[in-house]
Amino acid sequence: MKIITKQPLWAGKFLRTVLIRYSTHCNSSNMVETRDWESVERVNCSGIVGMVPVTDDGDVILIKQFRPPVNGYVIELPAGLCDIGESLEDAAKRELIEETGYSAGDLRFLVKGPMSSGSSSEMLTVFVATDLTYVGIGRRDETENIEVLKTPSENLASTLLQMQLDGSIIDLKINGLVEMAKMLIKNKRATKMKKTDLREKAEKSDGEYVFGAEDTGSHACYMIYGILKAGEKGREIKPGKGHEEIITSLRGNLKLTGHHNGMLEEGEAVHLADEQACFLENIGNSEIVYIIAGGHSGHGH
């Protein structure tokens, strides 16, 4: 199958109709024959964008507006045309503000596909919009009269059913796109980097913070971030039975006494196991930062 020709039949400001002549296999003759297909195309734009806006609380933002082709009020996701020379992402951000008043701090591609492949060549590119901030309704077209709706995503199906019973027409794309968006957001949260301000926590914990099971959910290993002020001394480091630790100076030179004796210079490391112990001391005039990486001994576990 292939398209042979496209003949424009009528053109308006935003749409035109075309007669598509194409070749296809005919079942009755078992031969390749030529057929005609009437279709609609967009003009004066470079694409169509749709947005699935989801708030931090999990609410989905929908819109309601009158659509003359169906002679009724339609519940739908925000969408609009991409101007020639405009990127799809910029068009999505602009249309979201114009139709809902929300600005997206994060915009992620969700899916692209035909709107109605049997009658139109329109391809819709959909984005998930999160980290929303209300900035006020942007400049709308002079005929746009849009009502902004917000509904919890877990109640979406029942909310749409009630809207339908109340006389609104429901855009069938909503349910599928929202479910896809929820999966994307869930995956995004699962892979979002969790960071811990070790210095802040150490300063609030008498100079040391143990980064371990509470932060990672694992008891297999841990890390201690420590700060020694100038002249501070007497901090004991002892792994304990079945554990091993490696002490590294990140900034400054540490004085060690005990199992190891001497200066541990910046960038150097020593190893302790089980009941071996060392005392740390800062004999300099500047703050020292050190790291202790620990875990279970091979023979202990």
Report the catalytic residues: 142
Q: What interhelical angle do 173-191 and 156-165 show, nearest 10?
A: 160
Separation between Cα atoms, residue 166 and residue 74, nearest integer Å: 12
Q: Which two tokens stand for residue 19?
A: 């007669």
Separation between Cα atoms, residue 240 and residue 187, nearest integer Å: 39
Q: Which two tokens stand for residue 130?
A: 């999160």
Q: Which of 73, 71, 69, 60 is nearest to 100 (CA)?
A: 60
Residue 177's contacts (CB-CB under 8 Å, 6 or more residues apart) are 50, 52, 77, 110, 111, 126
End-to-end CA, the chain? 66
In which element (H, E) is residue 300 found? Answer: none
Contact present, 224 and 294 (Cβ < 8 Å): yes
Q: Which two tokens stand for residue 263?
A: 């200066």
Helix (H, G, I), strand (E, B) or coil at 95: helix
Buried/exposed 248-282: b ≥16 CB within 10 Å, e otherwise: bbeebbbbbeebbeeebeeeeebebbeebebbbbb
